[in-house]
Amino acid sequence: MNTAALTRAAIAAAGAALLVGGLAACGTDTAGGKADGGRKTAGAETPGDAVKASYVKTAAAKFAAYEMTITPGSGKAEQLKGTKGWYPSSTGIDARGGGSDNQVMIGDVIYTHSDKPVDGKSWMKMNLNKDGKGRRRFNDDPADYLAVLLGQQKVTLVGTEQVEGGEARHFKGSLTNADLLAADESTKVMEAANRQYLHEALKEYLTLDVDLWIGKDGHPVRVESVQGTKDGTTKVSAKFSGYGTTAPVTAPPADQVADFDDVMKGIDDKLKGVDDTLKGVDDTLGQADRTLRDAGLGGLGGS
């Protein structure tokens, strides 16, 4: 794999919902109303309301185009573009900039395209779920980012800004591991399986800082995040577009896919055959050497 999106899966993630803090009003909302003792004034929209509405709309869209820069603690940034999908999680990467996916991840299965076919097949498949236990990963898709902000009292509205050529509301949240794992009724807007999936994925996160911009159509258009784990800090900057119009991430045709495990088994079998052949040659040479020595000719190594 030659991209961070998939390696973070192999390398790299979606899934289930965050069980988080209360959906109490906090700060000033876009309609100008203010929270009052945990209640909102009539007609006012809290940051929690805005995030929840955007989540519902985004979850239904299923796919979006993305451009993303991932910067790990080493400081070596990697830029990716393609398609993100959620429920189930999927990622398509246009590694060569040709307008089509060259790497695809659907759930726990990764497909990589090669210009040098193996057994006449131009795609290689690798299943990361060999032990029967699905890997939990934060997919860095719009639904994931909205899900972690669902019900969080710490989410605030920074203001309205011009982003990606349009007006967008800027929301911000700085969350601890305890925030990410706390339960809240508002997260029940998510399906139970998705909520549990994301809950498991976020257990390894020590901190998660998110800046998210929601456009006039109710979808996230930009996200900046800083993700802290025991392994260090990763920064992700992403732009999203094409909700509802972006083509789904799909697996390549089965007849064009070679299975990584099968290929490796074939290589192992061939190597074992070579090893057996070399052992036979060695036995033959050993016998010849003994014959020469018995004849007083000094053997193959000379006298």
Q: Which pLDDT band holds residue 1 (cuts at 50, 70, 90)?
A: very low
Q: Residue 128 has what pLDDT?
A: 85
Q: Residue 202 has what pLDDT?
A: 93
pLDDT tens digits, 179-210:
999 878 888 899 999 998 899 999 999 999 99
Instruction: Give, in order, the Cα–Cα distances in Å from 217 to each of 33, 263, 281.
Output: 21, 47, 73
Q: Mean pLDDT throughout 52-63?
A: 97
Tell me if 50 sits within 8 A of 59, measured CB to CB.
no
Q: Which pLDDT band holds residue 270 (cuts at 50, 70, 90)?
A: low
pLDDT tens digits, 149-162:
999 999 999 999 99
Q: Which pLDDT band holds residue 167 (cuts at 50, 70, 90)?
A: very high
117 or 175, which is more confident: 175
DSSP 184-238: -GGGGGS-HHHHHHHHHHGGGEEEEEEEEEEETTSSEEEEEEEEEETTEEEEEEE
Contacts of 55 by beta carbon, 8 Å cutoff, 6+ apart: 143, 146, 147, 150, 189, 190
pLDDT value at 32 more than 80: no
In angstroms, the CA 165 to CA 161 distance is 10
Q: Residue 274 has what pLDDT?
A: 52
Q: Mean pLDDT throughout 1-18?
A: 37
Its pTM stands at 0.72
Q: Residue 84 has what pLDDT?
A: 97
Tell me if 106 sits within 8 A of 13, measured CB to CB.
no
Which residue do the tokens 């976020």 mark? 202
Q: Residue 27 has what pLDDT?
A: 34
Average pLDDT taken over every residue of the chain: 80
Q: Mean pLDDT throughout 70-83?
A: 93
pLDDT tens digits, 220-233:
999 999 999 999 99
182 or 53, which is more confident: 53
